[in-house]
Amino acid sequence: MALAADGDGDGANTLSILVATDNHLGYLERDPIRGQDSFHAFTEIMQIARDRKVDMVLLGGDLFHDNKPSRKCLHQAMTILRASCLGSDPVSLEYLSDPQVDFASSSFVNYEDPNVNIGLPVFSIHGNHDDPSGDGNLSAVDMLAACGLVNYFGRQSEVERVRVSPVLLRKGETRLALYGLGNIRDERLHRTMARGNLTMCQPTEDEGRWFNLMVLHQNRVAHGPKNHIPEHFLSEFLDFVIWGHEHQCLVDPQYNHQRAFYVSQPGSSVATALSPGEAAPKHVAVLKINRRSFKLEKIRLKNVRPFVIDDVVLAAVPSLSPQSTEDEIVEYLKGKVERMLVVAQREYHEQRDGALGPQPKPLVRLRVEYSGGFESFHPQRFGLLFADRVANPRDIIYFFRKPRASTSVSTQASVASARSVAPVDALHVESLIGEFLDDSSMRMLVDLELAEAVRLFVAKGDTDAIVQSLKSTISDTQRRVLTEGVVASEEQLEARIGETRAARRRRAVESGHGGVSEIRGESVVPAVVASGRRAAVTNNDRNAIREFERIAAATSTSVTTEPVDGRDSSGSDKEADGFLPSPPPPTLGRKKRPRQPVVVASDDEEDDDIVSTAATTVKITRPSRNARTTLALALASTASVKPLSGDEIEDSEDNSLPSSIVSPPPPPAKRGRTTRARGAAPSKRAATGRGHGRGRGSVPTQRTVSLLASQMPAVSIDDDDDDDEVGESRGFGGFSLRKRK
């Protein structure tokens, strides 16, 4: 395999292919300005194929932007393909392989269908946007294939063992083995390839005379250790690789010395993100293959909306300082955007075509670093200054701060640790599924499978995903239970259901369902932290956190405050004296010391009624360091009532609890009715002051006071003008809602 020189090869033995990826038809189709950009670019691509008289078109995935494109989008896509592909032009490609293996939607290649007159064959794989899903596991590309407009290949029926068979084509003396691999989740495919479970089939006939071309749609840039596909994972017998999914245009062939093949990354034909990679000029390529040599010609697209992106650091601008007014900063940025508009117009005139008009509104992105004491302002308000001149007035400006450099290793480690901790209340909805199933009696359901169904429902719009997951679980469980013999007892049935669930969960973990990976044999649930990154909290940690919160909640509701109106706390009834505080929550990471029995006696009847209870032993799973840090951050942001330790509870001479632990209410009017009031008594002016009888200052009954006191800590609300300082409110972290003079 070698690069062909200009003019090498004759037309009878030269196979020409137009290559394009990531067309994203239907992107922002409801936008009045940018709604037709994707269709304009795709129309130009197909017109280039017709003008260059290529033998075929090869699409590298993400033909559609939405997994379920609208009818309008499908209609426009079919119209473009019909106008470009149908015709009486002869097809010079000879199809040599088995269509039952190559194509999932048809039993023959479309240009050999006697009922359809194809003049330009189109071969396409699916991407991550238009991948198969839903009822029937179909893709939007399947609909185009059923209409005879596209040859859809590269689809895999299973992901644990991937088998890629080539589409064999021949033109004269040139033989092409076309390998296609539609998008598979990167972590899953990475694991499959690392285990050696990906098989690349090679033709046995005329071995050594085939040009091996592969097209795939995966992450090429490493965003993590396993969420990309390294180039050295691909087979070394390949000659040329077309890489889809990456939107940055790197269409020029890049040689991989480790595997001895070339890689071309055409990029997207429409900008779907305001990033530097999308700002590069858009290209497609015409790949010409002659026997074992090739030549690639890149063609710049003309019907692409101009996109200019630039950065500015406010601290580096001599005319600005942190003391500059907002108007001064806005004026400087306004001049910067004006210069960017001039650049955008000049670039469009260089590639000018008539589809977008003589002067289309460009995409402009100005990334502003405002570190060093500068203040930001509302970006959308700034965009109103250019509302009629740019295509994206709402997001012209993007403010960001430069990350601070750590001064020490310990500080850097602590910052990294703090960022990697996931708050308990910031977990994904998928991570709550396991908690829900643990607390319910639905023992057949697998949390990872249900999480994957929820992801398909939310991300792909598959309304039947959850129903299909439940049906699959029930049918598989029934099949396993009934085929393993007669069930003699309920215990055997429960055991078989548990075995079935465990087997299905192992398969789900291996497949990467629900975004769950494995850490030391434990399933890990992803969580989102404040910085936007994902952290991992194990199920054992989550259960320990729930148990800790349950104990802490029970303890906090049992701790009361001291009297706040100076009343004597010595007099109480038997029912109030019998109220015992719950044990405080154990300290995480330390062994809990056994508590001694607590004895409480009534002041009225010291020798008659003695109530004693032993300390409650609480067993919880010790959370990991990640979980303990998570609890520390979560509890630090909330006002909590300090629990009492065992050392603070001492037996007095009269065997009564201190007033700081139990605050009995004032004596009731009648001996027969007792209430356990833990809050402050209402002031006298509240009963006779303004609003009495109309709901504002009315005195609540003793039963209402008891009910409210059991649900929330005590808070003293005193609107008296006197300066009483007897008793301090300790509800809500010691805050007092006293009216100040």
Active site residues: 129
Q: How far is CA 713 from the centre of its chain?
A: 38
Q: Which amino acid does the sequence have at 23?
A: N
Q: How far apart are CA 506 and CA 523, in angstroms?
A: 10
In whole angstroms, give the CA distance from residue 164 to residue 698.
79
Q: How far apart are CA 700 and CA 695, in angstroms?
A: 10
Of 42, 29, 33, 40, nearest to 362 by C-alpha is 33
> Please, which residues have CB within 8 angstroms of residue 36's CB and are 6 or more apart in sequence?
29
Helices (H) and strands (E) in the chain, counts: 18, 24
Q: Which residues pair with 303 in a beta bridge?
A: none
> How far is the CA of 118 from the CAs of 91, 92, 168, 421, 729, in angstroms?
8, 12, 19, 57, 85
Instruction: Write the single-letter amino acid at 674.
Output: T
Chain-centroid distance, C-alpha 302: 35
d(CA 45, CA 544): 57
d(CA 674, CA 741): 36
- Does an H or E element contain 102, and which? helix 99-102
Residues 287 and 294: beta-carbon distance below 8 Å: yes
- Torsion angle, CA of 4/10/14/20, rounded to 10 degrees? 70
CB-count burial class (<10 Å; 0-12, 13-18, 19+) for 381: exposed
User: What's the sign of the alpha-carbon dihedral 502, 505, 509, 510?
Assistant: positive
Pairing, β 517-519 against β 610-613: unpaired
| AA identity, residue 181 | L
Those residues with Cβ within 8 angstroms of residue 25's Cβ, 6 or more apart along the chain or in another chain: 38, 39, 42, 63, 64, 65, 69, 73, 76, 77
Cα torsion at 486, 492, 493, 498 (round to 10°)? -130
Question: What's the token pair of residue 679?
Answer: 């809050």
